[in-house]
Structure 1
Amino acid sequence: MSLSRTELIGKLMWNEGGYGFGIPSLANSMAWGLATTGPDRPDLPSVVAVSGPPEKYSDDELAELTAFSERRTKHYDSYFKQRLGANLIVIDKLSDNSWLRKRMSWESGPMYSTTLKDAVAVFETEQV
């Protein structure tokens, strides 16, 4: 059963912040890593955050991102009881049609891929 564009958009967690660069990101990462869920702070729907307005993604890209998000979140959930505080995967389609793909606490190595398939493949072999 294929989902409509609206349903795909609704299944994804949308990043409304930055990419985790800069000096303020260090303090935010520390606070984020210690975050816990509670009555005022619900758990996250996913461990994958997609950046930018949904309009810049094709239906096929949204479908691939949704499937990737569901796979990685299921894998993460097999190890941990809450997603809040996870080292989120951030993905964005850039204006030149390349893909930014990183974790919130990216330390080294390239953060860009030429295709969405290559971008998600970086994370498919990770243990957590």
Structure 2
Amino acid sequence: MADSVHFPWMPFPPRFLVCTRDDIYEDENGRQWVVAKVETSRSPYGSRIETCITVHLQHMTTIPQEPTPQQPINNNSLPTMWRLESMNTYTGTDGTYWRLLDHSQMGDTLQLILDIVICEVD
């Protein structure tokens, strides 16, 4: 009899994330998620300019008393709350739709990666 392949159990992504501090979100289970990185890129697309924002969130068991980002993070473009609409889409309190790119675990670190593409008319 062949051995079956077993994947490590991965919980569902959080149903919602509420901002409790500039760089900290809390989910429905009281777990803390820190904004580890925000990437922004802009590219022309015809007569429009597309801006892509990618947010990397990491689940933390202990939260630093003060924000200590490795790089300056501008969270002005992030909603104060995200709500899971489907298995791969979050809605922000500002009405934006964010795509869930990744929900995985690397060692002891659980991570979420969300992105949004915003089109602006040139």
TM bucket normalised to smaller = under 0.3
Higher strand share: 2
- TM-score with structure 2 length normalisation? 0.27
Which structure is larger by alpha-carbon Rg, 1 or 2? 2
Higher helix share: 1
